[in-house]
Structure 1
Amino acid sequence: MKVPQFLRLAVRRVIRVYYHFIFRLNRVAVQKVKLEQCGACDGQVTWFDVNRLTDTERYPFSDWKRPAKAIYRYRLENVVLDAYYMVFFKNGGIIPNCNHYITGELLNSLKVRPNEVISYEDQGLVFSCSDHWENNYFHWMAHAIPAFYAALQSGIQGKFLVPSPLLPWQQRTLELLGIDLERCCPINKYKQYALSCVDYYELGTGEADFAVSNLSVQAYQQMISNVKVSIKQELCHDKIYISRANKEHRNLSNEAELIESLKQKGYFILDPELYSIDEQIIIFQNAKMVVALLGAGLANIGFCKPGTIIYELIPSHHDNQCFLVMSLQGKLRYWADKFDTGVDHNRPDHLSAWVNELDIPFVIKRLDELEQFIK
């Protein structure tokens, strides 16, 4: 008798759910260690009287809340790593909750390629500290750096899995953390690796993105303490704007006009890629106010001193709270306004360029209001 297609699909779904339950980290890990307890947080602005601002309805995070969250390290044994997606397999089955936003059909389609697996079992214990977007500056700074720091501070002897080739700026961030590059174990993004023992850090795949992580703050402070570049006048500016003029995504058609208006108000226009990591740390350490469109360059606010004012211009098609949370971590004074970009919200794409122009007169008025709080 032929089994109806709807029944076959239903059986597959049941098997898939059961399979994903059996192979979750909690069940396959031989050890689970709590790294930190992140406190609850929300988007309420408490650092000043909001009534002193006009048009506050543009602030997008008034009702946003996150409960307290524990962050863990898991020890896995005899697993295979797909280095492109940074997904682990155990006994040929995928561990579904060990990655950053790989879900659905893509996750279910991933398989071990037995004839292509490279044995790294002789490397002993290794640390997995990054996600599959490791070359994105935000993902590296917000996910990988805290995880590398936590692994280093554990005192456990092992090697750090790092992308190959390791980009110069990635290498420098590891050096600033105090990691001996001799302890780094390179992995090619297009390969799979058999590993005998792995410490998997949830920090490395964004579990603390929306939680106030003290380990993240400690990691950035460790980097600051190891900066070797001397402080120069050209690196010290009270007010900075992070430009996206040369960026590929979320382009703003009238950014040149915005930049000209900001220059007239005394803002230093910063393209972070023109500066070394050490220089960027100094620039953000000395800033009293940082203005930016949503973008990876804002990850540098992790280096700002407590009390620095952060003003983020949020595109309506991608209202992400990640930099609000970084501000809460560092005790920075955050404000944001959301602007209608004209991008179809029914088909969200966080990479899309703005269709509408930015309301520059509104931004300048807002800056006049926020600058009153500069200390």
Structure 2
Amino acid sequence: MKQGNPKNIEQIADNAEIYYRQGKLASAAALCQEAIKINPDCYPAYKTLGDILLAEGKIKPGVRAHTRAIALQPEPERANSYWQLGNILAEIEEFYGAIACYIQALQRQPDFASVYRDLGNTLTKLGLNEEASKCYRQKLPLNLLVQFSQSAKDWATSCQYPQRHKMTHIPIHPPGKLYLSPPKTPDGKVLGHFCLSELELSETFVGVLENARAWASYYTIAVFTSENKLLKKVSSGNFELIASSPHLPPPRQLDGTVAFLSVRWGSTYFHWLSDLLPRIELLRLSGIDLADIDFFVVNSHDFSFQKETLSQLGIPKTKIIPSSQFPHIQAERLAIPFLHYRGGQWVADFLRREFLPKSGIEEFSETRRLSLEQDLLIDSICRGSTAHQHLSIAIDRVSPVGQSQYIYISRSQAGMRRIVNEEKLIDALVLLGFQAIVLESMPFSEQVATLAAAQVVVAPHGGGLTNLAFCRPGTKVVEIFSPDYINGCYWLLGHQVGIEYYYFLGETLEAKEADSPEQNRGDRDIWVDVPSLLDLLEFAGV
């Protein structure tokens, strides 16, 4: 069919949108049909027509029109359009149609955080609270994926048959146990989160595959054999979504030997240090020479701590492939180190051996101090007024770190779990000899040096406490929690180092714009009863 003047069609579609917004639905629909008759591939006309039909309560025709509009878009834009359509359907309480759209969006963009949130909200309205809770944690329930995606249903059916793969398995550490002692408390009672007496540790190994494929993104890791079979053992997160999606970008081909180091949440400080970097040690222990590896796949290579740690471990920048840019890869030979992120004593030993000797624990010269103050000032101005407001806190940390210190780690520059009455808390702690520091303002090596010299550490739960791995045995640590989110990962880490661990429960502010109490419960800011915290410090002998 011969298409009309593009400018005329565009004008017709624009007028249809104007009429729709004015509530003139019949006139708007007529213009949409006119534009489509002239050009059957007119995306704006189909989209507006879909909005009109849904507004008139014609659900199925409206969805068909929207689906046709989405099909006319470039593939990278379709995830956002399916998300928007899902929200429209959820608003008119067409919940199952909304779920189908959300899953279409996730099959194209597996890390679409807003989709997980809105899918969770929709499931909550349907009373599917267990499934909703998983979505709020960015985990797509398999039963939903199979129910609303034919490709996922076909994949699940194929998985019912026995699968074999040819992966070379190089064992490193056998399964073991980490024996635990409870935190010290004034009344001798501890929360259930800290009642474990031992923790099962999984084996570690390096797997080697020929002509393998892998996907790595913030929420998901998926590894496939040359026969396109998913290896669940070395996959995590929403790997079923990756395995069953026909809409992912094609993989980037990498020749030679590729070390696949990326892990779920691996761009964050905790998972980078405790989960990703130890995989380099597993490669060494497997007998694979790092010099013979052609590429190292890591979650990202954007932050200074990532660049500094990889450089210290001898990984050339030219060999680094960031998953943030290339989530999908195909490797001629793929080496996959495996460990659970609670990897046992050897992880802390590795971090201390590699980074403590290079942390520069010697005292700062006055020249170095002035240089750091200047760098911090420039950096804070670049980040804006909020960072500049806390510059004095950040500069405090450049006093000589070779001396024993009382340290308070501020999360003032973080986007969540901040102490809302921090100024009052710091005023009280300063009287006890504490220094307030902002770890984000410090190079990695100085974070290591500062925590290595600390006698007492007080901090809200957050990634900066990963640096407890560098503390001396006997260091006293008080971790401040929100009652809505208690995670014992740093208590476990403390057992590998020999710290003296205490915890304190603050109070949380209610979420102001949350559609669900579970949606961001772990992110809420914390209010601290300062006298009660001081009592705990007195109990700890501080």
TM-score (norm 2): 0.57
Task: Tell me how far 1:141 sits from its aligned partner.
Answer: 1.0
- Contact between 1:119 and 1:193, CA under 8 Å: does it hold in 2? yes
Q: In the alignment, does 2:199 pair up with 1:66?
A: yes
Task: Tell me how far 1:239 sits from its aligned partner.
Answer: 1.0
Q: Tell me which protein shows more strand as a share of its residues.
A: 1
- In structure 2, the CA distance between the partners of 1:72 and 1:112, relative to structure 1 (3 Å rule), is farther
Q: In the alignment, does 2:466 pair up with 1:299?
A: yes
Instruction: Spell out the pairing of 1:203-222 with structure 2 (5 A cutoff).
Output: 203=339, 207-209=340-342, 211-222=343-354
Q: Distance in 1 between matches of 2:346 and 2:287?
A: 18
Q: SS of the counterpart of 1:288? A: strand
Partner of 2:263: 131
Q: SS of the counterpart of 1:261? A: helix
Partner of 2:228: 92
Task: Tell me how far 1:226 sits from its aligned partner.
Answer: 2.8
Q: Distance in 1 between matches of 2:540 and 2:213?
A: 51
What CA deviation, in whole Å up to 9, does each residue of 1:124-144 have, x standing for no partner? 112122314232111111111
Q: In the alignment, does 2:520 pair up with 1:352?
A: no
Residue number among 303, 307, 313 corresponding to 1:167 in the alignment: 303
Partner of 1:369: 539
Partner of 1:234: 400
Residue number among 29, 32, 55 corresponding to 2:187 in the alignment: 55
Task: Tell me how far 1:77 sits from its aligned partner.
Answer: 2.2
Q: Which amino acid aligns with 2:223?
A: F
What CA deviation, in whole Å up to 9, does each residue of 1:317-364 have, x standing for no partner? 22112111111111222222334536699726454213x622221111
Q: Which amino acid aligns with 1:140?
A: W
Partner of 1:248: 415
Q: Which amino acid aligns with 1:231?
A: E
Q: Distance in 1 between matches of 2:436 and 2:318?
A: 37
What CA deviation, in whole Å up to 9, does each residue of 1:8-29 have, x standing for no partner? 96x9879727618856xxx535
- In structure 2, the CA distance between the partners of 1:280 and 1:102, relative to structure 1 (3 Å rule), is same
Residue number among 176, 200, 205 corresponding to 2:336 in the alignment: 200
- In structure 2, the CA distance between the partners of 1:29 and 1:264, relative to structure 1 (3 Å rule), is farther
Structure ranking higher on relative contact order (CA contacts 8 Å, 6+ apart): 1
- Contact between 1:318 and 1:349, CA under 8 Å: does it hold in 2? no
After superposing the two structures, state which structure 1 stretch, 224-233 or 142-151, moved more: 224-233
Q: Distance in 1 between matches of 2:221 and 2:303?
A: 18
- Contact between 1:237 and 1:283, CA under 8 Å: does it hold in 2? no
Q: SS of the counterpart of 2:234? A: coil
Partner of 1:3: none
- Contact between 1:220 and 1:303, CA under 8 Å: does it hold in 2? yes
- Contact between 2:155 and 2:243, CA under 8 Å: does it hold in 1? no
Q: Distance in 1 between matches of 2:157 and 2:352?
A: 39
- In structure 2, the CA distance between the partners of 1:20 and 1:321, relative to structure 1 (3 Å rule), is farther
Partner of 1:16: 156
Larger radius of gyration: 2
Q: Distance in 2 between matches of 1:306 and 1:38?
A: 25
Q: Distance in 2 between matches of 1:361 and 1:197?
A: 59
Q: Distance in 1 between matches of 2:344 and 2:244?
A: 34
- In structure 2, the CA distance between the partners of 1:44 and 1:363, relative to structure 1 (3 Å rule), is same
Q: Distance in 2 between matches of 1:226 and 1:215?
A: 17
Q: Which amino acid aligns with 1:86?
A: I
Q: SS of the counterpart of 1:325? A: helix
Q: Which amino acid aligns with 1:76?
A: L
Q: Which amino acid aligns with 1:234?
A: P
Q: SS of the counterpart of 2:423? A: helix
Instruction: Spell out the pairing of 1:99-114 with structure 2 (5 A cutoff).
Output: 99-102=235-238, 106=241, 109-111=244-246, 113=248
- In structure 2, the CA distance between the partners of 1:213 and 1:99, relative to structure 1 (3 Å rule), is farther
- In structure 2, the CA distance between the partners of 1:17 and 1:163, relative to structure 1 (3 Å rule), is same
Identity of aligned residues (%): 21
What CA deviation, in whole Å up to 9, does each residue of 1:104-152 have, x standing for no partner? 6x456545747x32211x2x11212231423211111111121123224
Q: Which amino acid aligns with 1:19?
A: C
Q: Distance in 2 between matches of 1:126 and 1:271?
A: 36
- Contact between 2:176 and 2:201, CA under 8 Å: does it hold in 1? yes
- In structure 2, the CA distance between the partners of 1:367 and 1:32, relative to structure 1 (3 Å rule), is same
Q: Tell me which protein shows more helix as a share of its residues.
A: 2
Aligned length: 349
Q: Distance in 1 between matches of 2:200 and 2:414?
A: 34
